[in-house]
Amino acid sequence: MADLRILCVALLSNSAGADTFVTEGAPYKGAKTTEAGQYDYTTRQPGKTRYGLVCRLTVVERNTDPECAVGYDKRSVDAGRGAERQKVKVAAFARPKEIKARLRRAYELGLGDTPVVVYNIDLDDFEGDCDPGVMSPQLEAYATATYES
């Protein structure tokens, strides 16, 4: 089982896409996961899905920090069950603003001359569903982060 705090820290590696899982109870940092979440088709990276499917999740702002957003699928919440017994589909991901914060921090901490970014276009919003008119917003964020103040 993973801990959401550890998962968000691990995401500093700047990998595209979203890590998906199921929590028992409310989706918050520190919640224990019970299983991997499945949002759509299986990708080559188990436990991940494309940003285009999670960008519109309900983000739990109090659990979101400058480098990692935590969101959940409201449709997976069963109003008839007690909150502590529900299985909720959750995703930890980076919107463009979190990606930019990660890259700025990597440079500020002197983590090498150039932070390494592992990017799989299949895991981005290549169809432009998140922000109409923006194809692959994660790639755009990686490409422009160091040029914005």
pLDDT tens for residues 68-83? 888 888 777 665 555 5
- The domain tally of the chain equals 1
Predicted TM-score of the model (pTM): 0.73
Query: What is the token pair recorded at 132?
Result: 């109409």
Taking the C-alpha atoms of residue 2 and residue 45, their distance in angstroms, rounded to an integer, is 17
pLDDT tens for residues 115-137? 666 667 677 888 888 888 788 88
The residue range of the domain holding 43 is 4-147
Taking the C-alpha atoms of residue 32 and residue 140, their distance in angstroms, rounded to an integer, is 32
